Amino acid sequence: MTNLSFREEKINIGRNYPIASRSGFKCGGCAEYYAQPSSITELKEVFILAKERRLPITVLGAATNILVSSDGVKGVVVSTTSLKGVSVKGTLVTALAGESLDSLINKAIEHNLTGLEELGGIPGTVGGAVSGNAGAAGKSVSDFFFYADCLDKDGNTIRVKKDSDTFSYRHSLFSSDLVVLTASFSLLPSLSASECRKKKEAYLKKRLESGQFASPSAGCIFKNPEGMSAGRLIDECGLKGKTVGKAAVSPYHANFILNTGGATAEDIYLLSELVREEVKAKTGYNLEYEIKLLGFKEKA
Ligand code: EPU
């Protein structure tokens, strides 16, 4: 353990913080240091401090899409979840990184703006959704993304506008060296806020019916291979209901792994790897993780 007193710095950084309790899977280890800055200025201070102390930084949103190993995460984990706020100017909707994607969609609908309803009910923050280019039902965050203000690895704030390299399927250039501070979306005027609300609710209902929230999970574990559904492949390999310890392949949607109560992060990891191996052996498809693994060595 690094022998540091972060208290001197007057930044609220906790030690041995059980981030896993916040994660979608509700299991795994602790962050060596944990900060949840309540302003962008405070977030920058955390970065400066960690850099001075040569501590690695891991930025997380609501941790809905991560699996933290039981050994936890070394260095400083920074959660953006206290950076909240959404503003609307004409057809441009801007949110701080820690705002929930769902609140952004609701705010847009209130202001008679449309575009993101299909993403209704995707758990997590705007920063996380932009970084992972979240999507559902053929729509992705990238479809309406306009620009993001980001912190680069030297601590400078830069504005990144969308170009052809910014996003690909479930990936963005924000997932490596850039931290999203705010993101702006250019939406379309809608004729009826109530129709948009109904549409969004219908997608949320579909998500609920898929059993995603029945037990702790991180939604889809694997990315869809091009032109194919990972869920369908896993299902066709007969893996629904397969378990390792208390981790189980969902009986509803085969691309979800559930913590059925008391699963360890290693149960979930081993089950995911078993699924990958079976799918590779039976179908030839190489499934790639959609979730982020922290503290594990992902096999190639
Ligand atoms: N299917 C099966 N068995 C299963 C699951 C799916 O046969 O266990 C079949 C379905 O019947 C359907 C096809 O596979 O014919 C596609 O299924 P689905 O509509 O559920 O879509 P998906 O491609 O499996 C994607 C996203 C989900 C999103 C849904 C709905 C990825 C990796 N997954 O799943 O996103 O909710 O579309 O729009 O892109 C997530 O990212 O966490 C996530 C859940």
Residues in contact with 110: Cβ distance below 8 Å, sequence separation at least 6, in sequence order = 193
Closest CA to 115 of 207, 190, 203, 195: 190
User: Of 2-16, 153-167, 200-214, which one has max mean pLDDT?
Assistant: 153-167
- Could you tell me the pTM of the whole model? 0.90
Cβ(140) – ligand 1 distance below 6 Å: no
CA of 65 relative to ligand 1 center, distance in Å: 16
Cβ(24) – ligand 1 distance below 6 Å: no
pLDDT given at position 6: 54
Closest CA to 170 of 132, 222, 124, 129: 132
pLDDT given at position 173: 93
pLDDT tens digits, 114-140: 999 999 989 999 999 999 999 999 999
* 77-103: average pLDDT: 97
- Helix residue spans in the chain (DSSP H): 40-52, 101-110, 126-131, 193-209, 230-236, 265-283
pLDDT given at position 296: 82
Residue 84 has pLDDT above 80, yes or no: yes
Cβ(235) – ligand 1 distance below 6 Å: yes
Cβ(231) – ligand 1 distance below 6 Å: yes
Q: Please tell me the residue having the least CA distance from ligand 1 atom 12.
A: 232
* 50-64: average pLDDT: 92
Q: Please tell me the residue having the least CA distance from ligand 1 atom 17.
A: 229
CA of 26 relative to ligand 1 center, distance in Å: 23
Alpha-carbon gap, residue 214 to 194, rounded angstroms: 28
Q: Are 57 and 50 in contact (CB under 8 A)?
A: yes
Tokens standing for residue 61: 């949103």
Alpha-carbon gap, residue 188 to 186, rounded angstroms: 7
Task: Indicate the pLDDT class of residue 1, thresholds 50, 70 and 90.
Answer: very low
Cβ(220) – ligand 1 distance below 6 Å: yes
Q: Are 61 and 79 in contact (CB under 8 A)?
A: yes
| Kind and range of the H or E run holding 100 | none
Mutate-to-test residue for ligand 1 from 25, 220, 291, highest number of ligand atoms within 8 A of CB: 220
State which amino acid sits at residue 166.
T
CA of 95 relative to ligand 1 center, distance in Å: 28
Q: At 205, is the secondary structure helix, strand, or coil? A: helix
CA of 260 relative to ligand 1 center, distance in Å: 21
pLDDT given at position 147: 98
pLDDT given at position 208: 85
pLDDT tens digits, 169-193: 999 999 888 999 999 999 999 989 9
CA of 146 relative to ligand 1 center, distance in Å: 27
Using alpha carbons, list the distances in angstroms from residue 22 to 61, 88, 185, 268.
10, 29, 27, 16
* 137-149: average pLDDT: 96
Question: Long-range CB contacts (< 8 A, 24+ apart) of 164-168?
Answer: 166/142, 167/133, 167/140, 167/141, 167/142, 168/133
pLDDT given at position 3: 42
pLDDT given at position 10: 53
pLDDT tens digits, 202-236: 999 988 887 777 899 999 999 999 999 999 999 99
Closest CA to 175 of 65, 287, 297: 65
Give Cα 174 distance to the centre of its chain.
12
Residue 43 has pLDDT above 60, yes or no: yes
What integer best gives the mean pLDDT of the chain? 92
Q: Using alpha carbons only, how large is the chain's radius of gyration in Å? A: 19
Tokens standing for residue 198: 């109904």
pLDDT given at position 5: 53
pLDDT given at position 11: 61
